Copies of this chain bind each other. A is one copy, B any other.
Amino acid sequence: MTTESTFINILRSFATDPAARGLLDDVAVLELGDAALIVTHDMMAEGVHFRSNANPADVAWKLVASNLSDLAAKGATPVGVLLGFMLGDDAWDRAFAAGLEEVLAHYRVALLGGDTVANRGDKRALGLTALGIATHRPVPSRAGAQIGDILYVTGTLGDALAGFELMDAGFDAIGPLAEAFNRPEARLSDGQALAPFVTAMMDVSDGLLLDSERMATASQVGIQIDLACVPLSPLYISYRTDSLESRLQAASWGDDYQLLFTAQPDVTLPVPAIAIGTVYSGGGLTLKDGAGSVKLPPTLGYQHQ
C-alpha cells in the first residue's frame, strides 16, 4: 500500500498553485476579490476513523467538527459544507442525517450540497468539504513559526484517547471522555480571536508531537516541547495518572482538535492558552520534561497508511 506521505508527495509535484499552499497546510486559500476563501476536505472511513458500531449521529458530528476545526485554525468563519455520503441501511442513514442537522445547527453552518453513492463494499466512507471566509489576512499557515516564538495549545490533550479506550473496552459511550472522542469541538471563536496574533497555527488532529513536527518542518525551524507543560484534564489524570508516559501518550494521540500555534513572546493573547514549547534555530522536534531531555518516541502520532 502507498503511504499517505508518498502519495501526497506525488500530488505535490503538480499541485503548484499558490492556493494549494504546497499541500503543507490543512486547507486551500483562494483569493477571490477582497475575500480569502478557505476550503478543506476530510474523509472518515469505517474501521479507520469510526467503528462499525459507532453512533451515526456522533459520526456526523465528528465529520463536521473535524473539518470546521481546520477552518478554525485559519481564523475563518464557516460558510457551508458539502457532504459525500455512502448510503447503507435505513436506520443508520436516518440517524446520521439527524446528527448532521444537529451539528450544523450547533455551528450555524449551512448544508450546501454534495453527493450520495450506493455502498457496494463492506465499509462506509464519508467525505465533507467545508468552506469558510478568512477573518484576518494574511491567513495563518503552518509555515510561519519564527525563531524565539512561544508554542501554545488552547487546552487539554488526551481526553479523546481516554474516551476511545474506554469505549473500546466496552464501556458505554457516555461521559465527558467518550464525548471528547465522539463530539469534538471546533474552536472557531478561539481561532478567529487568535488569527491576528499568531505566527503559525494549525489544529491538533493527528497528535501534538506529529503536528508540531509538521509545523517545524513547514516553518523550517526547530520546535522544543516541554512535556511537563502539556495540559492534561483532571479526568484524564484520574484515568491514567500523571506520568511522563501518560503525557507522551496524550501528546501522541490525535482527535483532540485543540489549536496549536506560535506567537512572539511579548504578545498578549486574547484567549487562554498554555505555553508548551519554544521555537529555535534548527529543524524538527525535540522534547524535554522540565529540566531533563526526553527521547522522541518511535511514533509521534496518527499516520495514515
Contact B123 A120 (CB under 8 A): yes
Contact A127 B43 (CB under 8 A): yes
Interface positions of A from 20 to 60, Cβ below 8 Å from B: 20-21, 23, 25-28, 30, 32-35, 37, 39-49
A82-B14 CB under 8 A given contacts A28-B112, A35-B32: no
Question: When the two chains form the complex, which single residue of B11, B23, B43 contacts A100, counting CB atoms closer than 8 Å?
Answer: B11
Contact A117 B20 (CB under 8 A): no
Query: Using Cβ atoms and an 8 Å threshold, which residues of chain B touch A47?
Result: 120-121
Question: When the two chains form the complex, which single residue of B26, B46, B83 contacts A41, counting CB atoms closer than 8 Å?
Answer: B83
Can you name the residue of chain B whose Cβ is closest to the Cβ of A14? B101
Bound-state Cα–Cα, A89 to B305, Å = 11
Question: When the two chains form the complex, which single residue of B33, B88, B129 contacts A33, counting CB atoms closer than 8 Å?
Answer: B33
Choose the segment among A2-10, A153-161, A169-177, A237-245 that binds chain B (4+ C-beta atoms closer than 8 Å): A2-10
Bound-state Cα–Cα, A34 to B85, Å = 32
Bound-state Cα–Cα, A88 to B30, Å = 30
Contact B115 A41 (CB under 8 A): yes
A119-B45 CB under 8 A given contacts A28-B112, A110-B19: yes
Contact B86 A45 (CB under 8 A): yes
Quote the shortest CB–CB distance from A69 to chain B (angstroms): 13
Choose the segment among A90-98, A194-202, A270-278, A286-294 that binds chain B (4+ C-beta atoms closer than 8 Å): A90-98
Query: Using Cβ atoms and an 8 Å threshold, which residues of chain B touch A127?
Result: 41, 43, 84, 115, 127
Bound-state Cα–Cα, A305 to B89, Å = 11
Decide yes or no whether A147 CB sits under 8 A from chain B: no
Query: Using Cβ atoms and an 8 Å threshold, which residues of chain B touch A94?
Result: 2, 10
Decide yes or no whether A116 CB sits under 8 A from chain B: yes
Number of copies: 2
Query: Using Cβ atoms and an 8 Å threshold, which residues of chain B touch A42?
Result: 84, 115
A305-B87 CB under 8 A given contacts A112-B19, A117-B45: yes
Quote the shortest CB–CB distance from A68 to chain B (angstroms): 14
Bound-state Cα–Cα, A158 to B299, Å = 53
Decide yes or no whether A266 CB sits under 8 A from chain B: no
Question: When the two chains form the complex, which single residue of B7, B83, B118, B125 contacts A305, counting CB atoms closer than 8 Å?
Answer: B118
Contacts A/B (CB < 8 Å), 14 sampled: A2-B94, A10-B94, A17-B80, A17-B111, A32-B37, A33-B33, A39-B82, A41-B83, A43-B86, A48-B118, A48-B120, A87-B305, A117-B304, A129-B129
8 additional A-B pairs beyond A7-B85, A28-B112, A45-B121, beta carbons within 8 Å, are: A2-B87, A20-B113, A28-B80, A30-B112, A33-B33, A39-B129, A117-B304, A122-B122
